[in-house]
A = this chain, B = another copy of it.
């Protein structure tokens, strides 16, 4: 467990840059006082916000750069223009060089993933990255991955996602063996795609000590919170995520229209305002901001580009949890179980002995 967490922040990322990133860090600090920050970006733009908050400034440092990746830069362009020198790159580099435990950026997802893979590299033995989203459910929250990094993941990659998502769930939900489901379709004539069936077979037959495999789940299990971790490939996962967001906005719009239609309903709204505040809180996407990049040799969190300070703070807090409770190490342990031969090759003598069953 990391005692003090230092987080590198891409201060220029997102739609609002330092005006959201700095206040967001301040909110996160108020909840996690054992945190310090490295703000990466245009010092002239960051400093005024820091000067306005002495408490935050006391635990913060600025790393200046003029260069910022734009929200609409393609990953290839971002890499060409921003490698070695952009605020996004330098925040990741701080993780690589161990000057920070985690990086957070609200910059564009494609660029952040491309730079993360280039700068931090994949973990040994993980083929493909995944982006994990926090999903609000009727039971609390679930983790859903992949929501867009790996289109058409094969069976072994889906199993890797299950292991990585479970490691994340153990940290966030503080449970030993998170329940895991594979997203599949329930139309009866369809047996499910081959790779999903094969992944299920592997998860069932190889007993994974750190997860509790529950078989297939369907789209409507996401909102129910049937399992702690829902695993799918990136195409279906991204579509599910965006469909749920769109449906929530659609229903909020129906509700707004219905409540403002007549004087009676407006009056009803006045009486029920507390209830609507609760509802808004439940539906607040800011509360669950923070996509976790999994499979990289370092902790990287993506905040929504349009997040406000409260939303960005959520992403920072996810970074804090992932760094403090050693996400990467937990994933490594899970992968070691999955592929003991490979893990032994990079393990310490003690670990090798344990893997070989020589010590309890």
Quick check: A278 and B258 within 8 Å, CB to CB? yes
A264 is contacted by which of B245, B272, B279 (Cβ under 8 Å)?
A: B272
Are B276 and A190 in contact (CB-based, < 8 A)? no
Question: B239–A224 contact, CB under 8 A?
Answer: no
Which residues on the B side are within 8 Å of A252 (C-beta)? 251
A183 at interface (Cβ–Cβ under 8 A)? yes
Contact A243 B220 (CB under 8 A): yes
A220 touches B246 (CB 8 A): yes
A109 touches which one: B114, B147, B189, B247 (CB < 8 A)? B189
Interface-facing stretch out of A19-27, A45-53, A148-156, A162-170? A148-156
Question: A231 vs B147: C-alpha distance in the bound complex, in angstroms?
Answer: 20
The reply to whether the CB of A248 lies closer than 8 angstroms to some CB of chain B is yes
CA A246 – CA B142 in complex, angstroms? 14
Least CB distance, A143 to chain B, in whole angstroms: 15
Chain A 87-124, CB-CB to B under 8 Å as 1, else 0, gives 00000000000000000000011110110000000000
Contacts of A262 in B (CB 8 A): 274-275
Asked whether A235 lies within 8 Å of B185 as measured between CB atoms, the reply is: yes
CA–CA, A313 to B234, complex, Å?
A: 38
- Bitwise, A273-287 to B at CB < 8 A (1) or not (0) is 111101100110000
Residues of A280-313 at the interface with B, using a CB-CB cut-off of 8 Å, are 282-283
* Neighbour of A250 across the interface among B190, B223, B245, B273, CB < 8 A: B223
Question: CB within 8 A of A189: which of B113, B183, B188, B189?
Answer: B113
List of B residues within 8 angstroms of A220 by Cβ: 242-243, 245-246, 249
A108 to chain B: which residues have CB within 8 Å?
188
Chain B residues whose C-beta falls within 8 Å of the C-beta of A219 in the assembled complex: 238-246
Residue in contact with A253 in the complex, picked from B138, B240, B278, CB distance below 8 Å: B138
State which size class the interface on A falls in.
35 or more
- A282 pairs with B254, CB closer than 8 A: yes
Residues of B within 8 A of A148 (CB): 185-187, 190
Jot down 18 A-B pairs with beta carbons below 8 A, ordered by A. A75-B188, A111-B188, A113-B189, A114-B189, A148-B187, A151-B190, A220-B242, A220-B246, A222-B246, A247-B251, A254-B279, A254-B282, A255-B279, A258-B276, A264-B271, A264-B275, A265-B274, A265-B275
Q: Which residues of B contact A183 (CB under 8 A)?
A: 239
- A48 CB to closest chain B CB (Å) equals 31
Whole-angstrom CA separation of A349 from B187 in the bound complex: 42
Residue among B188, B240, B255 making CB contact with A255, cutoff 8 Å = B255
Check if B259 sits within 8 Å of A272, measured CB to CB.
yes
Q: Is the CB of A186 within 8 A of B242?
A: yes
Pairwise interchain contact A235-B110, C-beta atoms closer than 8 A: no
Asked if A190 and B110 sit within 8 Å, CB to CB, the answer is: yes
CB closest chain-B residue, reference A71:
B188
A341 beta carbon closer than 8 Å to chain B: no
16 other A-B residue contacts (CB within 8 Å) besides A138-B253, A186-B242: A109-B188, A137-B250, A147-B187, A151-B185, A151-B192, A219-B240, A219-B244, A219-B246, A223-B246, A223-B249, A235-B236, A236-B239, A244-B247, A251-B252, A254-B279, A261-B278
- CB neighbours (8 Å) of A151 from chain B are 185, 190, 192-193
Q: With A188-B109, A239-B185 as given contacts, are A265 and B272 in contact (CB-CB < 8 Å)?
A: yes
Residue A268 at the chain B interface, CB threshold 8 Å: yes
Which residue of B74, B187, B224, B264 is within 8 Å of A246 (Cβ)?
A: B224
